[in-house]
């Protein structure tokens, strides 16, 4: 199984839309693709209501129970560590490991983090630590406009400081905004200063976000072939086994 960890510079930057589109694009290439949102907060425990995992599951088309795609959900819209504390529990890393192992027989697993890479899951593990633990390179989704240079470079620097490979940056227009000078110049500046390619710029398309709609909009701005080329360059062993004993932060 190959995997990719879709993270972002912030919450609400387009991770779910990009991950959903990517899942569908990989499936179109003939791959069996698993989807995992290891921890999701701000969702109904009974599985009703809008949730990232629902879109991811729809994209993967695997018709599996919620626990497969979102093994750990909390009602409070908070960082996982705090959401768990408020639910008087702690997140079991072992159960997250079991969740990704369910997709061992798949060709790919696309994992969507919560918030950004430094978001805490437990006192000793953050999102970057989970990507390290699972030996997954990261794709960073970021805003296109003013402010994204700082957020993107900080995220890339943090990922690298944790030993993670960064596949690329994807800039996603989640809101209608004029394509100003910063949005025009940010992609090349991010590439120049970080050495990480900006693999895609997803246009703003106000549609009800179904898996199909996400696929269409992501396809407009991201070439899956380009992403896979970069992935191959980074990940020498295509079927690198997922580690269940990686380091924690
Ligand atoms: N290209 C787009 N065009 C229009 N709306 C978009 C686009 N991309 C994302 N959105 C919308 O922007 C909002 C945030 O996107 P999304 O849920 O993918 O972000 P996220 O990073 O996954 O957020 P979270 O941190 O909550 O997981 C959603 O309402 C989504 O439908
Ligand atoms: Mg999301």
Cα 12 to ligand 1 centre (Å) = 5
138 alpha carbon to ligand 2 midpoint, in Å? 15
* Helix/strand/coil for 173: coil
pLDDT in tens, 87-116: 999 999 999 999 999 999 999 999 999 999
Best residue among 17, 41, 183 to mutate for probing ligand 1, ranked by most atoms within 8 Å of CB: 17
Contact status, residue 80 vs residue 39, Cβ threshold 8 Å: yes
Which CATH number do you get for residue 90?
3.40.50.300
Q: How confident is the model at residue 249 (pLDDT cuts 50, 70, 90)?
A: low
Residue-wise pLDDT tens digits, 3-17: 999 999 999 999 999
Q: What is the total residue count of the chain?
A: 249
pLDDT score of 237: 42
Rounded Cα–Cα distance for residues 141 and 106 (Å): 24
2, 15, 24, 37: which one is catalytic? Answer: 37
Q: What is the pLDDT of residue 49?
A: 78
**Cα–Cα distance between 195 and 140 in angstroms, integer?**
14
Nearest CA to ligand 1 atom 6: 174
Could you confirm whether 37 is annotated as catalytic?
yes
Q: Read off the pLDDT of residues 109-128 as tens digits, 9 standing for 90 and up.
A: 999 999 999 999 999 999 99
Look over the chain and give the mean of its residue pLDDT values, rounded to a whole number.
93
Q: Which domain holds residue 147?
A: 2-234
The tally of domains found in the chain comes to 1
Query: How far apart, in whole angstroms, are the C-alpha atoms of residue 131 and residue 242?
Result: 10
User: What secondary structure does DSSP assign to 86-122, as a single string?
Assistant: HTT----HHHHHHHHHTTTTSSEEEEE-SSSTT-BSS
In a domain, 239, yes or no: no
Q: What is the dihedral of CA 69, 72, 76, 78, to 10 degrees?
A: -90
* Predicted local distance difference test score (pLDDT) of residue 65: 83
- Categorize the per-residue pLDDT at 86 as very low, low, confident or very high, splitting at 50, 70 and 90: very high
Question: Mean pLDDT over residues 205-214, rounded?
Answer: 92
The neighbourhood of ligand 2, an ion, using CB within 5 A, equals: 15-16, 52
In a domain, 247, yes or no: no
How confident is the model at residue 17, as a pLDDT?
98
Mean pLDDT value across residues 193-219: 96
Q: What is the rounded CA–CA span in Å between residue 126 and residue 118? A: 6
pLDDT mean over 10-31? 97
Instruction: Give the count of beta carbons closer than 10 Å to the beta carbon of residue 45.
Output: 11
Rounded distance from Cα 40 to ligand 2 centre (Å):
8
> Is 146 inside a domain boundary?
yes
Ligand 1 pocket, residues with Cβ under 6 angstroms: 8, 11-17, 52, 115, 172-174, 202, 204-206, 209, 217
Instruction: Say how many Å lie between the CA of residue 204 and the centre of ligand 1.
Output: 10
* Predicted structure pTM score: 0.94
**Contact call for residues 143 and 151 (beta carbons, < 8 A):** yes
| Inter-helix orientation angle 15-28/211-221, to 10° | 90
Query: Is 242 within the bounds of a domain?
Result: no
């Amino acid at each position: 199984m190959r995997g990719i960890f879709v993270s972002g510079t912030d919450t609400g930057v387009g991770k779910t839309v990009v991950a959903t589109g990517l899942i569908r694009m990989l499936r179109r290439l003939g791959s069996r693709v698993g989807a995992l949102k290891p921890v999701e907060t701000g969702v109904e425990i009974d599985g009703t209501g809008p949730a990232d995992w629902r879109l991811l599951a729809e994209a993967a088309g695997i018709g599996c129970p919620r626990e497969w795609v979102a093994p750990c959900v909390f009602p409070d819209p908070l960082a996982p560590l705090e959401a768990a504390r408020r639910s008087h529990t702690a997140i079991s890393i072992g159960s997250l490991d079991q969740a990704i192992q369910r997709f061992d027989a798949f060709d790919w697993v696309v994992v969507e983090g919560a918030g950004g890479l430094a978001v805490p899951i437990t006192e000793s593990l953050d999102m970057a630590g989970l990507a390290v633990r699972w030996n997954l390179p990261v794709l960073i989704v970021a805003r296109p406009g003013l402010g994204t240079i700082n957020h993107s470079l900080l995220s890339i620097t943090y990922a690298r400081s944790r030993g993670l490979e960064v596949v690329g940056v994807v800039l996603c227009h989640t809101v209608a905004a004029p394509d100003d000078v910063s949005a025009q110049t940010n992609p090349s500046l991010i590439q120049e200063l970080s050495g990480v390619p900006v693999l895609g710029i997803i246009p703003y398309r106000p549609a009800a976000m179904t898996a199909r709609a996400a696929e269409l909009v992501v396809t407009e701005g991201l070439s899956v072939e380009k992403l896979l080329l970069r992935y191959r360059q980074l990940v020498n062993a295509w079927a690198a086994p997922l580690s269940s004993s990686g380091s924690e932060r």
